[in-house]
Structure 1
Amino acid sequence: MTESERGQTMAQVDTAETGQGDAGRRDTGSGGLRAGIRRAIRTGSRPGPWKRGLVLAALALLLGLFMLLHAKIPNRIGNLGSLVETFLPWFGLFIPVLLAGALWRRSASAVAALLLPVMVWLNLFGGLLGDKSHPGSDLTVASHNVGAANPDPVGTARDLAASGADVLALQELTQQARGTYEKELAKAYPYHTVQGTVGLWSKLPLSDIQPVDIKMDYGPLADTKPIDVKMDYNRALRTTVTTDHGPLAVYVAHLGSARVNPRAGFWTAHRDRGAQALGSAIAAEQNERVVLLGDLNGTKDDRAFADITSRLRSAQDAAGDGFGFTWPAKFPVVRIDQILVRGVEPKSAWVLPATGSDHLPVAAGISW
């Protein structure tokens, strides 16, 4: 092959390689363009922050409406309304759960929707979060369901005597333990009365002592206590405490139990009848200064207590710190042990340390 022929061949090879390189570059550029277009389409079709998390937003709105309209939930089916109201503060726990989901989804709509349940919860319970107590009180009252199965009534009585309460109400007193409480409390409290399963011990004189008929149907309740525990079934009393500021009407009550039954739902028939009867007694009370101490087996938010809470206010709400949950003692989730007042001013309210009971004692300082 001559030099001229070799040169022509090399030129042809170079030309072929150059053409192939240009084609490859053109292919690469085309693929990059297609990938860019796909990315743009994906970005354009991805929902924005206001369109993401619409399910979470809907759940947040439903939660807010649920708490806002709790009084509209009917009791016709298993006392559902009362059950919801009993645990109403705890529905606030769903708020941080929904907030975590909204942040994970980066959903502006869900975060905005959460403003409704937050505002409703704060309106219902925000006032309980701070300490509202004030120094100074004229009288300290306390109440405790001592528990029929309490293994240490002596220790419980001594703890209550050491609390410094001027007036002490006890519920669920058994025949076996009554003598123990009377003996242990005698030194601190020279005046006392026991009516059935409830009693009142006082450092001040008592008068006008009488049982209060709260219309209990006691048959089924006999099955709720250990077989070796004997109970009388008068569960409410009314007396007058003589103070330096005048007479004070004091009611002590232990309303019927509430039960969650798979067939009946939230069963409160006995308790609700007792609440109505107790409300009627308080409505007829002539003394303008009244204190109700007791285990009501329900929270003040429960509509079943409207006849009572419309006439008396909660010392815990007015002068306490927090929710003041009292039951069960090991991990309290509801406040069913109440101090309610009329005609006196709560200065402070608190929960006392645990005893051998499954309830926590409660106390309040009141002033004229």
Structure 2
Amino acid sequence: MVMEKPTESNTLVKHAYQNLPLYSANVKLLIKWGYIGTPSRSQRFLLGLLPVLTLIGQVINIFKSPDADMGETGMNLFLLAIMTNSILKHFTITRKDEYFQRFLQSMQQWCNAMESYEDQHIPGLILDITRRSQKLSRITFYGSVVGTVCGVAYPFTFEHRKFIFDVQYPLFDIKRTPFYEINFLLQAFVLVPSFLCVYMTFTNLLFTFLMFGEVTLLDLRLKLQNISKDDQSKMLKDFKDCIAYHNQIIDFRDDLENLVSMALFFEVALFGLMFCMLLFFISLVHDYQLIFTAVTFIAVTLYMIAISFYFASKFTSESLEIANAAYDTPWYDGNLEMRKCVLTMIARSQRPLLVCIINTWE
């Protein structure tokens, strides 16, 4: 997928892509919070400062509490892993801000072009994945709201002062007034919402990108099926257009992998770590409240990974069908150049379009 560098001529419409129904409210949230777009440096700095300070405070708290209850220590390790995952996604988006914007803008233009087809099959598929994307976004949003309420209410179940993310810092006692009140409010109304914004929107957009990629492959198959054998020169031109379109889809996959591979790697790695911790945690702890909280975190992460792999698998499976579609074209009625083009597409289609994590695993 070709992504042009932003110029002054498109400055006024550079955020127009946020209104694409396929994106639901996900891109608008990223722009509103300042993760992409043109936020001030101070806003970008503050967005990253609080999570990093919280992560440091969590590490200090774990090392300064060697005699803490096993259940509390296990929960603190869970939350440390979650915060690490959030920070990684935060820097994945902000570090590739312009790249991310160009990707979203190019996809919007591509989607608009497909919606203008006279044949209503592909526009109908775009409408279908738009509805599915919006439905998944709503499910994730409602789940996030419930998670936020539970996270904010969790400290109030203890008799002593407790944070959503337990932290300690040198030189001063964070649980003394007014440090406790200030830090708790920052965690409840800034840290948790920003964390959910990053996690929710990143995951929802990944689902959307993979569903859109599957539709582009279906569109390519339809173009191959519509190649007519009546005119050899037109047949060759149409097939070359399909090869160019296939290249565009491959570029789309490459750009998507560049954006999400690192974050997906840590998602899977942290899930494996958290799952092992959960088994150890359950074997030692008999506090049902802590066990329920831990299982909930694992279930949410497993849901996100499972859905991501489901859509990635569908995208990959559809890419393998291109070779059959190319072979089914009337290439036998074409000239030698036409046959070479068919062989080129078939050979290229033998390698499935995988969305890999660190280029090792779908």
TM-score normalised per structure 2: 0.23
Which one has a larger percent helix, Structure 1 or Structure 2?
Answer: 2
Which one has a larger percent strand, Structure 1 or Structure 2?
Answer: 1
Structure showing greater Rg: 1
Q: Which has the higher contact order (CA 8 A, sep 6+)?
A: 2
